[in-house]
Amino acid sequence: MIFLNAFLLSGAFCLVAQIILDNTKMTPGHITSIFTVLGALLSFLGIYPKLIEWGGAGATAQISNFGNMLYLGALEGYKEMGVLGLVSGLLSKSSAAIASAVIIAFVLSFIFKPKN
């Protein structure tokens, strides 16, 4: 059942993104930013952890999970070190995701050629 839940949740995120992309003049970059902020907002409201529990990888493989990680890192840093901990907590939780994205993009740039 967890596979079906993951598929449905991930599909729902993609459906919403595609509807926005088709019916507005927003670019994929705008949608990525909106979903990241939406993930942080849903985490703040306590909804995103429930989505992760229900949808598993369907919630953790999305860009919205990056917003969730940023929020949780900032909250943890604030609890440990106060206002100055916001940035350090934010970076400590999300550094693995950022580093892996940069490394994977670098490797893929050698494999695929961009179009002009």
CB count, 10 Å around CB of 60?
17
Whether the CA torsion 62, 105, 103, 76 is positive or negative: it is negative
pTM score, whole prediction: 0.81
Sorted by sequence, the CB contacts under 8 Å of residue 31 that are 6+ apart come out as 17, 20, 21
**pLDDT tens, residue order, the chain (116 aa):** 889 999 999 999 999 999 999 999 999 999 999 999 999 999 999 999 999 999 998 888 888 999 999 999 999 999 988 888 888 888 887 888 889 889 999 999 899 887 76
